[in-house]
C-alpha cells in the first residue's frame, strides 16, 4: 500500500494542469507522469541541464534510422525521473518504479511521416559459459505518425516485460518465457529506441486504481 500511495501521489504532483481530464485521445483520465521522447536533427550538449520530463534522441530518417539506448533503473522512492535527458550521444537514462503499480500508454506526435520502434532489452549472462548477451523482447511497439488524429494505446506489456525466445538459455535460467522489468535473472535493463524520423513519442504512466 505504501508504494502504491507514493506512486499515486508523485504522479498527481507531476501531471501538468489540464491534462488529467482529457478525453477522446485514447488515454485514461486521471493523474499521470508524462515523458516526451523528442527526435532532434543535431546533437545536444553533453552537459545539458534544466528541468522537464524529456529525453532527446537522434531524429534519423525513413531510410537511415538512429538507435538510442534508454538505460532503466528502479527508483528507490517509487517515482519517475529522467536521469540523463541527452540521448543524442547514444544513451539516456530513466528511473521508474517496479512494474505492476501502473500502466503505460503512448502515441506518436509531430510532423507526419516519421516512425519509431521501442523494445525492452536486458543483458543475460549464461551461467555455464559466462558469456553476456544483450537480449531484446520479441514483443515491441512501432509508432507511425500519420496525417490524422494520433491516439494513445496501451503499451504496458512491451515497455515493462521482456518476452524471451522459446527454449533459449535465458528462458531456462529465468524459468518463464516472459520476464518482468528488473527481474533478477537479467541485468542492465533498457529501452532500445530506433528512430526513423519521428519527432515526438509521448508516453504516459498512470497509477493503477
What is the per-residue pLDDT across 78-114, written as a single tens digit (0 to 9) for each?
899 999 999 999 999 999 999 999 999 999 999 899 9
Cell of residue 35, nine digits: 515523458
Residue 19 is predicted with a pLDDT of 39
Tell me: pLDDT of 22 over 70: no
> What distance in Å separates the CA atoms of residue 143 and residue 92, rounded to the nearest whole number?
20
Distance between CA 114 and CA 200 in Å, rounded? Answer: 9
Helix spans in 68-155 (H): none
pLDDT surpasses 80 at 50: no
Distance (Å, whole) CA 143 – CA 107: 7
pLDDT: which is higher, 10 or 180: 180
The pLDDT of residue 88: 96
Q: What pLDDT sits at residue 187? A: 96
Q: What is the pLDDT of residue 136?
A: 95
Q: In whole angstroms, what is the distance from residue 198 CA to residue 57 CA? A: 10
State residue 133's pLDDT score. Answer: 95
CB 132 within 8 A of CB 173: no
Least confident of 48-52, 138-142, 153-157: 48-52
Band of the pLDDT at 128, cuts 50, 70, 90? Answer: confident
**Is 53 within 8 Å of 36 (Cβ atoms)?**
yes
Q: How many CA atoms lie within 13 A of 82 on its CB side?
A: 22
Cell numbers for 48: 545539458
On the question of pLDDT at 46 being above 90, the answer is no
Query: Percentage of the chain surpassing pLDDT 90?
Result: 74
20: pLDDT confidence band, cut at 50, 70 and 90?
A: very low
pLDDT level of residue 44 (50, 70, 90 thresholds)? confident
Lowest mean pLDDT among 7-11, 17-21, 53-57, 80-84: 17-21
Indicate the pTM of the whole model. 0.87
Amino acid at each position: 500500500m505504501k508504494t502504491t500511495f507514493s506512486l499515486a501521489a508523485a504522479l498527481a504532483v507531476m501531471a501538468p494542469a489540464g491534462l488529467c481530464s482529457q478525453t477522446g485521445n485514447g488515454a485514461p483520465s486521471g493523474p499521470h507522469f508524462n515523458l516526451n521522447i523528442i527526435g532532434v536533427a543535431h546533437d545536444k550538449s553533453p552537459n545539458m541541464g534544466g528541468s522537464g520530463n524529456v529525453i532527446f534522441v537522434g531524429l534519423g530518417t525513413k531510410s537511415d534510422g538512429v538507435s538510442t539506448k534508454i538505460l532503466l533503473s528502479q527508483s528507490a522512492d517509487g517515482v519517475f525521473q529522467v536521469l540523463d535527458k541527452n540521448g543524442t550521444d547514444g544513451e539516456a537514462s530513466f528511473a521508474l518504479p517496479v512494474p505492476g503499480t501502473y500502466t503505460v500508454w503512448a502515441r506518436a506526435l509531430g510532423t507526419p511521416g516519421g516512425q519509431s520502434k521501442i523494445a525492452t532489452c536486458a543483458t543475460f549472462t549464461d551461467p555455464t559459459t559466462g558469456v553476456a548477451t544483450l537480449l531484446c523482447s520479441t514483443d515491441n511497439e512501432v509508432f507511425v505518425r500519420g496525417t490524422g488524429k494520433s491516439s494513445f494505446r496501451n503499451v504496458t506489456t512491451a515497455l515493462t516485460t521482456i518476452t524471451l525466445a522459446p527454449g533459449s538459455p535465458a528462458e531456462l535460467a529465468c524459468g518463464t518465457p516472459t520476464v518482468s522489468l528488473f527481474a533478477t535473472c537479467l541485468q542492465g535493463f533498457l529501452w532500445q529506441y530506433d528512430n526513423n524520423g519521428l519527432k515526438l513519442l509521448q508516453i504516459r504512466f498512470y497509477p493503477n486504481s
